[in-house]
Amino acid sequence: MGVQIRKLPFRLCEGVLLCALFSSPLGVKAQIAPLPAGVEKLCVIQFDRDQKRAARVEDSALLCLKLAVKRMTADATVKLVLVGVKDPAKDHEASENGRMRETEDTTGYDIRLEDLAAYRSLNTKGYLVRWYRIDPARILPTTDESAFEQSVTFYLVPGNADFNHNYLGMTKTNERPCTVKPCYPADEESLAAQPRSRIIAAGTGKSGK
């Protein structure tokens, strides 16, 4: 199944299978290459409504979340890669102290712009783990710093995928606790998901299951 992958601008892309997806030297939305066999784009969730908590999983994400859970439950061998993206033109620093804060934000209200894409993928993973009991090791949070959007894209990948060869050429997040191997050094700052309440399905008054 191996295919030769070209090296992408500003990103080293080694190995085979699926390392070229979103990449653009100008940081704009690039033309997407066909996905290799075994990789499936499931859906996309948006982060464009809550201006105060720009990385909080929004209620509109429910259908995509439920689809991912359904597919991962049906096939226990697959993994889910989450690709978080920010848009500097639409996403802004916290008005009070986001530019100066030197430690991790725990509230969701004061996130450094540089961490926003990572928090979006981490918070999405955290929601799936907390409310749907998905094994954390099966959800791989990553970011794409070359695309400008306010979103997280869901991809199913083979269960034997590893970061160096299979994770779409993205940047892994330094999550706490780490699940994307190899982990970053312990002395580097790591980010933890910011939990939110369970999303209530529209028109039902009940949480999405």
- What pLDDT shows up at residue 10? 27
- What pLDDT shows up at residue 163? 64
- What pLDDT shows up at residue 60? 97
- What pLDDT shows up at residue 33? 64
Distance CA 158, CA 79 (A): 6
The string of pLDDT tens digits covering residues 90-126 is: 998 766 555 556 667 778 888 888 899 999 999 999 9
Digit-by-digit pLDDT tens for the chain (209 residues) are: 333 323 333 232 333 333 333 333 333 344 356 776 688 999 999 999 998 899 999 999 999 999 999 999 999 999 999 999 999 999 987 665 555 566 677 788 888 888 999 999 999 999 999 999 999 999 999 999 888 999 999 999 998 876 665 556 688 899 999 987 788 898 888 999 999 999 998 766 666 55
- What pLDDT shows up at residue 209? 53
- Domains along the sequence of the chain with CATH: 1-197 (3.30.1330.60)
Q: Cα-Cα-Cα-Cα dihedral of 58, 59, 61, 64, to 10°? A: 160
Tell whether pTM > 0.85: no
- What pLDDT shows up at residue 17? 30
Query: DSSP string covering the chain, please?
Result: ---PPPPBTTB---SSSS--SS--TTSSPPPPPPPPTT-EEEEEEE--S-SSSTTSPPGGGHHHHHHHHHHHHH-TT-EEEEEEE--TTT----TTTTTT--S--SSSSS--GGGHHHHHHHHHHHHHHHHH---GGGEEEEE-TTS--SEEEEEEE-TT--HHHHSTT-EEP-BSS--SSSPPPTTS--B-----PPPBPTTTSSB--
- What pLDDT shows up at residue 57? 98
Q: Hunting for tokens 């590893």 — which residue is that?
A: 162
